[in-house]
Amino acid sequence: MYDRPPLFSPARRRLALRATAAAVALSAALLAAGCGSSQDTAQNAKSTASSAAGFPVTIDNCGVKTTYDKPPARVVTIHQHPAELMLALGLKDRMVGTAFPDSAVLPKLRKSYEAIPELAKKEPSFETVLEAEPDLVYGGYGSAFAKNEGRSREAFADAGIDTHLNREYCGKKRVTMKDTYDEIRTIGRIFGVSDRADELVADLRRRVGKATSAVKGEPSVPVFVYDSGDKAAFTAGGMSLGTELIQLAGGRNVFADLDDVFGDVSWEQVVERKPEVIAIYDYAGAGSVEQKKKFLLSQPALKDVPAIKNKRFVVLPLTATLVGIRPAYAVEGLARHIHPESFA
């Protein structure tokens, strides 16, 4: 069961008032149409048909089917990567709230991002989301719709609010770059901006292609991903998008044989696999990049690891490894660190 707001909460009262106002407005419109000329009626019908071009659109998202009769007008994003994706599609005017920024926003999107109200530093409460009066909530991680915190998709549906969850959390075993492009195109369909989505995907593909061309023919460099951990290393496995990003950048994840998105490995295994570069995942709540570097450099057992001896670290914001627009940007950054000679 999920927690629901009190029957007469301010947010519920506002939703009821909005519904009443809409009904009054509809009645007035119908009355006016009845009194107007047939020409006015025809013009109104033509305008309505034009504004709904391409709709309705039905999306099957993680097993939840939603039919959009028109593009959502008031959207709350929970987690940073959905917000950046929407901004990259030019949908700032549809966004009424963001939540849970976990790394620096892409410079070219920062000003727009900061202009949107931030509802919470972490996941907002159900009541807080209702206060923003959205017609769609777009979540990045599965925790956006945590039932135990009262934010289930069912709870939002009961409040008359549609939801969309990033496809990365639909239970797929493996996440790939194709998922990033498919997610962008899906959001484009929901908002009636498929042309923008296609242009964005084409631009991101060009970015990736440029980086992979620069390192083509170079030897594959062994890379170890360090997310966190002290007794053991929490790292990216072969099912992660991070592994594909490393490969596209001319590297090789030394734990690509780990049959999972993430997992723990021993420090002895790290030593045995002799990584030449360490990719540090950066995100709020897991210690700073400098703290992680200091820890790795202070471990006697790692002193002979090539990446430690040569202090070869590359920093990856966690958002750069999630389904969204960031992964394409990350490939170039990784390639420059893994094969600096190719960009001299």
Domain ranges of the chain: 10-25+54-165, 218-343
Cα 249 to chain centroid, rounded: 21
pLDDT at residue 214, rounded to an integer: 97
Q: How far apart are CA 224 and CA 273, in angstroms?
A: 9
Q: Are 145 and 123 in contact (CB under 8 A)?
A: no
Please state which CATH number belongs to domain 218-343.
Answer: 3.40.50.1980
| Stretch among 10-14, 60-64, 86-90, 126-130 having the lowest mean pLDDT | 10-14
pLDDT tens digits along 190-213: 999 999 999 999 999 999 999 999
pLDDT at residue 7, rounded to an integer: 32
Contacts of 80 (CB under 8 A, 6+ apart): 98, 100, 101, 102, 103, 105, 140, 319
Task: Say whether pLDDT at 24 is over 60.
Answer: no
pLDDT at residue 91, rounded to an integer: 98
Intra-chain end-to-end CA distance of the chain, in Å: 58
Task: Say whether pLDDT at 17 is over 50.
Answer: no
Mean pLDDT of 318-333: 94
pLDDT tens digits along 168-189: 999 878 999 999 999 999 999 9
Residue 51: band (very low, low, confident or very high) from pLDDT cuts 50, 70, 90: very low
Please determine whether the domains at 10-25+54-165 and 218-343 fall in the same fold group of CATH: yes
pLDDT at residue 124, rounded to an integer: 97
Please tell me the pTM assigned to this model: 0.83
Task: Say whether pLDDT at 30 is over 60.
Answer: no
Q: Which CATH class is domain 10-25+54-165?
A: alpha beta
HSE, side-chain direction, 13 A CA sphere, residue 159: 34
Report residue 283 as tokens: 């995100």
pLDDT at residue 52, rounded to an integer: 57
